[in-house]
Amino acid sequence: MYRSQISTKDNRRRGRLIIPALFLVLLALILACLCIGKYQISPGECLKILSGRLTGVQPSWDGMDENMLMGVRLPRVMASVIVGAALALSGAVYQGIFKNPLVSPDFLGVSGGACIGAAIAILMSFSSVMVQITAFAGGLLAVFITMMIPKLLRSESGIMLVLAGIIVGGAMSSILGFIKYIADPETQLAAITYWQLGSFAYVDNMAILSILPLSIAATAVLLAMSWWINILSLGEQEAKSLGARVNVLRSVCIICSTVLTAGAVCISGTIGWVGLVIPHFGRMLAGSDNRTLLPASMIIGSIFMLFVDTVTRMAGPAEMPVSILTGLIGAPFFAWLLYRQRRILN
C-alpha cells in the first residue's frame, strides 16, 4: 500500500519536473560542447564571450577564442540542437498519429525524397544552397505523392497511407540508385553518400537561419495540438467517435512533421534512428501523454544529437558521418527499449 502511494505521487509529479530537468541538462551540455574540442575554450571565457555578444559589451577576450566559438562551434552546436529536436518531435508525432511505435519520420518518404533532391543538385554541380533547396523540395514532394496515393485509391485509412509510404519509398530508392550509378564516383558519388549519412561538419548559418522560421512555426503547431495527438493515437474509429476530424488533424500533423524533417535534412543531410528511438526513450522518462512526451522528446533529441556530434568531432582526424554513430548507438539501444516496452508490443 505504502509503495503504491509513493508511485502514485511520483506519477503525478513526474510529468511536471521532467521537462525543466531535461532542459537544464541540455543547457549544461550545450556549454560543455561549446568548450570542448580539438581547440579548447574555457567555460568562463565562453560565457563571457556569449554574454558580451548578447549585451554588446566591447571585446575583452581572446579574438581567436571568439572566432572559434562564434564562427564554428556555436552554429554547429545550434544545428545539432535544432536537428535533434526536429527529428525527435516529428518521430513522436508520427508514432502517435499512426498508433504505431515502430514508425520513424521518414516512413512517408521525406528523407528519401530529400536525398533524391540533393543528389540531383549534386549531379548538376549546383551550389550548396541549391542542394539544400532541392533537398527540402524533394522531401515535401515525396510526402505529397505519398499522401495523394490513398486519395487516388479512394481509401483514406491510416494503413493505406503506410502502404503508400512503402510504395513511394521503394520507387525512390531505385531512382536514387540510378542517380548514384550515373554519378561521377570520384566526386559526386562520394558527396551524395556523405550527404546521405548526415554531418554537421559543413553547417552554414544561412541554412539554419532560413529554415528556422518554418521549423518554429511547425513546432508551435504540433505542440499546441499535442493533446489531440493522444486522441488520434486511439485509432480512427475511436478518435472520430470522440469528435475528431481524423483526416484533417492527421494531415496537419503530417505536413508539420514533414516540414520539420525536411528542414532538418537541409541542415545536416539525412540522419537515421533519432526519430525512431528518441520518442521511445521519451516515453520511458516522461510517460506516453503527448502533452509532456513531445517537448521531452525534443529536448532528449537535442541532447542525443549534440552528444553524437561532439563525439564524431572529437574522434579521429577525419570526421565520421553522424548516421554511422547514431546507428551504432541507436540499434542496440532500441533493442533494449523494446525489451523494456514488450508489454505494450505484445
By CB under 8 A, name the binding residues for another protein: 8, 11-12, 96, 99, 101, 221, 224-228, 230-231, 233-235, 237-238, 240-245, 249, 283, 287-289, 291, 341, 343-344
Burial class (CB in 10 A: 0-12, 13-18, 19+), 121: buried
Residue 4 C-beta: closest distance to another protein, Å: 8
What is the Cα 319 distance to its own chain's centre? 21
Residue 75 C-beta: closest distance to another protein, Å: 32
Residue 344 C-beta: closest distance to another protein, Å: 6
Q: 116 vs 225, which CB is nearer to another protein? A: 225
Q: 137 vs 221, which CB is nearer to another protein? A: 221
Residue spans of alpha helices (H) in 42-73: 43-55, 63-66
Q: Which residues contact 16 (CB under 8 A, 6 or more apart)?
A: none
DSSP per-residue string spanning 164-221: HHHHHHHHHHHHHHHHHHHS-TTTHHHHHHHHHH--STT--HHHHHHHHHHHHHHHHH
Residue 273 C-beta: closest distance to another protein, Å: 20
Q: 284 vs 335, which CB is nearer to another protein? A: 284
Q: 52 vs 235, which CB is nearer to another protein? A: 235
Q: 8 vs 67, which CB is nearer to another protein? A: 8
Residue 233 C-beta: closest distance to another protein, Å: 5
Q: 175 vs 244, which CB is nearer to another protein? A: 244
Q: 91 vs 101, which CB is nearer to another protein? A: 101
Q: How far apart are CA 138 and CA 116, in angstroms?
A: 7
Residue 95 C-beta: closest distance to another protein, Å: 8
Phi, psi of 287 (to 5 degrees): 90, 175
Amino acid at 24: L
Buried b (16+ CB within 10 A) or exposed e, 8-28: eeeeeeeeeebeeebbeebee
Q: Which residues contact 285 (CB under 8 A, 6 or more apart)?
A: 18, 22, 296, 300
Q: Which residue has the cell 542496440?
A: 332
Using CA atoms in the order 14, 16, 19, 25, what is the torsion angle rounded to 10 degrees? -70
Residue 84 C-beta: closest distance to another protein, Å: 22
